[in-house]
Every structure is written in structure tokens, then in C-alpha cells.
Structure 1
């Protein structure tokens, strides 16, 4: 009976020790886990961590600001290019208007004209008064108008007959061996001066079957001379 009691006592102590060790192990495990979490929280919330976060947020903010500034610079550069384009077009338009106004003044004879061009001289041909009609050998206004109109079509910027500036409204009339230009009378030979591209003006008159050929068929003596320095006075107004 004593041996049975001793066995129960030993078994009870073993169970007790097992329960104690189990509880102790549980406490130690719980304490270790809690300590680990606290250490992790302490590491996460350290001053170095907060400083790094501040740097990261500042960098992101600066990158966003740089992008905004880059976009703003690109927009300003486009505005500048647009202004330069409009300014360039304005200068071209202004220059074009100035040139057009100058050309109009030249055509109107309002200002003197100087430049290269062409001189065309028309003379009466020799004729036999017994056999021929004298009018067939005299320069008439129709002959002069052929030359003037061809030169004007070919780009002449200024025209004059015997030094008298002419315009699109000029009146040319033939009276025997002389002609009258806007009320002034001039004898032969008749010198028509035109300012413009001398090669173009000369080529226009000398086209086959053109003005020069028609004048020669009418027994008119025609000579042309290219010149790099033709000077035409401004139109004189009658008082």
C-alpha cells in the first residue's frame, strides 16, 4: 500500500513539474515576442527614420516643382517663338508695303527714279517725197505707245519721253513731225527711257514678231541701249 502511495506521489510531482515548465515556457515565449515588437517599433520610430522620411518627402516635392517649372518654361518658350514669328511676318509685311508704296510713287512719277534700264530711240526714216507718202516714215503716237506699253508690261518702274515723266494717265498726241506729251511738245528723235531690269526690258522689245519688228515694218528707225545708270526727274506739275 505504501508503494502505491509513493507511485502516486511521484506521478503527481511529474505532472506538476510539467505544468510549471509549460507555463514558464509560455511566459518566456510571450515575453520574447513582446520584446521583439517593442524593439521593432523603437527602430521604426527612431529620429533617423523620421529624418529619412522628411528627405524622401522633400525630394518628391522638389521633383514635382521641377516638373511644373519645366512645363512653365516650355510654355514661355513657345510664346516667345510665336511672338518672333508674328514679328517677322510683321516686318515682312511692312517691308512689302514700303516697297509697294515706293513702286506706286515711281509709276506715278511722284519721286525721281534712278537705276538700270533701257533707252529706246525712235527716229523718222528717210523717204522719197516724190514716190512715197511722208506720213509712212514719221513716228506717230501709236509707235511710241507700243514701246511704252510693252516696257510697262515688262516691269518698268519709271518711264519718260525726252525727259518728261509719264504715267498711266499721260496723254500723247502726234502733230506732224512733233508729239505732245501732257501738253508739252517735243521734236524727233524721241527717246523713251525706262527703269527696270534692262535684260528683261530689252528681251521683251526684241521678241520675234514683237514691237521692234513692227516698228521696222512701219519704216521707223529704232535703236536700243541698255544702261546701268538711268536718271528720271520727278513729274513736273503745271501751275
Structure 2
């Protein structure tokens, strides 16, 4: 009985070796139907392997894209942070506004002539003292009459006018600073501070107020460097040698 069952199973098993010999026992119409529905095991296995490889490649690409996306975000965040630090982006937040204006006081000189006291005029050094005091007190961004203060910003007097990055500004001069408004306000009202001498001459020359929200423009001056060159990291320098 077992032998008979084994023999019948061997006859029923259709493999690559027996397929052609077994088809000889079929009628012509049966051979056509079988050949049309026939699945080649080798071709099927090859297709499965190709699909598997494609799935693996897809997974690799997705992982690479995910890593690149994360790296790109980190680089972009770092770039935006550096641009903000350099003053190249528009920023907003709380802070203080310091207004400096020339005084209307005059002195009577020799012979009863009216003369203008130099202390009655806001000078470039007054603006520099205010800006430095604000930065020292934690200001994160400063603009003077709408001109953003950056690393290369300069203040100087030419006659009766003040130049900010070679742009003329006139009284009243408004210095806006972003940061902790209480701290900045306290720094501007500190005894013996940047504004004390101006207030001694004429308190009306100075006004300091807290601002809940304001926006400062981005730095618009040149960022090109003619002489300063970026130094390569040590490992790159060694590799170049």
C-alpha cells in the first residue's frame, strides 16, 4: 500500500525534469491550456529576488532621504542662527527705545552773544556709549534710526551730522534694542551710566521707554571681504600640505 501511494505521488509530482515528459501524455488542447497557465519556478524565484532587491533599495533611499532631511534641517537652523547673530535677518521682540535729541538750551557768551554749547548736541560718541551699554546689558539686536547694527557698523560725526555706516542721520536719534526690557531699561537709567552726563546738561535730551514688541530690519550694508580670508581647519591644512 505504501509503495503504491509513493508511486502515485511520484507520478503526480511535476518538476522541472518531468514537465516535458508528462506533457506528452496530454491532448493537444490540454497541452495548450497547461502551457498558458504554466509558472516557471526559476522565473518566479528570479522575480521574487528582484522585488526583494527593489524593496531593499527603496528602504535605503528612504533612510538616506531621512538622514539628508535631518542634516539639511540642522544645517539650515545653524545658518539661520548665524545670520541672526550677524544681523542679516529681520528680528522682532520686546526691548527698549532710547531717543536722543539735541537740546534747545543756549549759552550767552562774551558781549551778550548767544552761542551753542557743544554739550547741547548729540554726538557720535553718545550713540556709541548707548549702543555699547545696551549690548553689555544683554541686548540681542540693535538698530539706530532704522539702520541695523552689525559687526562692521561705524558711528562718526561729520560736521553737525552723525554717520551710521556712511549714512547721515539727524536728531532725534532713536536707538531700538531687543532683549529683556526691564534689564535694558535699568541699564539706561543707571547712575553714572551712558546717559548720565547728557541728563545732567538737559534731561529733555533723553527719553527711554519699554516696548512690548517691535521689529528691527536686517543689516543691508556690504558683507564682502577684500583682505580677510577664512582660515581652513587644521586637518584640511595638513591634508593640503
TM range (shorter): 0.5 to 0.7
Task: Tell me: CA distance 1:173–1:233, structure 2 relative to 1, closer, same or farther (3 Å).
Answer: same
1:139 counterpart (98, 102, 122): 122
1:228-239 correspondence to structure 2 within 5 Å: 228-237=212-221
1:1-239 correspondence to structure 2 within 5 Å: 104-128=82-106, 130-131=108-109, 132-219=115-202, 221-237=205-221
Q: CA deviation at 1:150?
A: 0.4
Q: Does structure 2 retain, via aligned residues, the 8 Å contact 1:124–1:137?
A: yes
Residue correspondences, number: 145
TM-score (norm 2): 0.54
Distance in 2 (alpha carbons) for counterparts of 1:192 and 1:176: 21
1:183-207 residue CA offsets vs partner (Å, 9 max, x unmatched): 1111110000001111110111111
Unaligned runs of 5+ in 2: 1-72, 110-114, 225-241
Matched with 1:4 is none
Q: CA deviation at 1:229?
A: 1.0
Distance in 2 (alpha carbons) for counterparts of 1:107 and 1:130: 48
Where is the helix percentage greater, Structure 1 or Structure 2?
A: 1
Task: Tell me: CA distance 1:207–1:171, structure 2 relative to 1, closer, same or farther (3 Å).
Answer: same
TM-score (norm 1): 0.54
Q: CA deviation at 1:217?
A: 2.7
Alignment RMSD: 2.7
Q: Does structure 2 retain, via aligned residues, the 8 Å contact 1:139–1:177?
A: no
Distance in 1 (alpha carbons) for counterparts of 2:131 and 2:151: 10
Q: Does structure 1 retain, via aligned residues, the 8 Å contact 2:165–2:221?
A: no
Q: Which structure: larger Rg?
A: 1
Q: Does structure 2 retain, via aligned residues, the 8 Å contact 1:103–1:157?
A: no
Q: CA deviation at 1:126?
A: 1.2
Q: Does structure 1 retain, via aligned residues, the 8 Å contact 2:93–2:212?
A: yes
Q: Does structure 1 retain, via aligned residues, the 8 Å contact 2:94–2:181?
A: yes
Distance in 2 (alpha carbons) for counterparts of 1:104 and 1:228: 25
